[in-house]
Amino acid sequence: MKEKLFITGIGTGVGKTICSAALVRYFDADYWKPVQSGDLHCTDSMTVKSLAGNHVICHPETYRLQLAASPHQSAAEEGIAISIHDFSLPETQKYLIVEGAGGLMVPLSDTEFMIDLIVKLNIPVALVIKNYLGCINHSLLSIMMIRQRELVLKYVILNGTFPSDTERVICRYIKNETTIIRIPDLDPPTKENMETALENLEFIQ
């Protein structure tokens, strides 16, 4: 059975879907978004297909929620209570990329968070980091939380360019068993630019 990987981020808007599409292409993987909150006319599964190719198998979301908000709020608006026990990994013989919503502590309910779902699924983690003011703090706290919950941090994905001082501090906190992946900026995020990014993908042990 091929490997499975959970893509999370240090926050919202750091490029998890773009990085997921890149890894879907790189590993010739299937894709699964457990919870889609809002943007049902242009879901993350649709974005992955547009960037990685229509041949990609995107497994159905467990929850498709109308409101573009935290899953616990979106679900409450529809009278739904989400539990981590509602989720099970899709069956596939291929590599599987699973993309979370937001960061590790995004609530699925009042008592369960995205990191609880990762623990329940029991698969390795890839943490997406993008440069912005505060990203060092958010990165180190996220890595600390992953270690605290005894999850396997297989990859740290540096999405785009970073000041050397920022990158140095973050990378010094990453243990040797974690591989760093550098993904160039996709500006704009098109299939053509994805091809260029894949040609320049760096894996650093």
Amino acid at residue number 106: V
Q: Which of 2, 4, 33, 191 is catalytic?
A: 33
> How far out from the chain centre does Cα 18 lie?
9
According to the annotation, is 102 in a ligand binding site? yes
- Rounded CA-CA distance 127/139 in Å is 8
* φ/ψ bin of 200: left (φ > 0), alpha (ψ from -120 to 50), beta (otherwise): alpha
4 annotated ligand-binding residue: no
| 44 annotated as belonging to a binding site for a ligand | yes
Question: Whole-angstrom Cα distance, residue 184 to residue 158?
Answer: 8
- Ligand-binding annotation for 9, yes or no, is no
How far is Cα 184 from Cα 192, in angstroms, rounded to an integer? 13
Burial label for 62, CB within 10 Å (0-12, 13-18, 19+), is middle
Between strands 202-204 and 179-183, the pairing is antiparallel
Question: Which neighbouring-strand residues pair with 153?
Answer: 125
Q: Is 101 annotated as a binding residue?
A: yes
Asked whether residue 56 is marked as a ligand-binding residue, the answer is: no
Ligand-binding site membership of 16 (annotated): yes
Q: Is 53 annotated as a binding residue?
A: no
Q: Is 33 a catalytic residue?
A: yes
Of residues 45, 75, 73, the one with CA closest to residue 57:
45
13 is in an annotated binding site: yes
Residue 100 annotated as lining a ligand binding site = yes
- What's the sign of the alpha-carbon dihedral 30, 6, 176, 172? positive
Question: Residues annotated as binding site for ATP?
Answer: 13-18, 44, 99-102
Question: Residues annotated as binding site for Mg(2+)?
Answer: 17, 44, 99
Q: Annotated active-site positions, please?
A: 33
Question: Residues annotated as binding site?
Answer: 13-18, 37, 44, 99-102
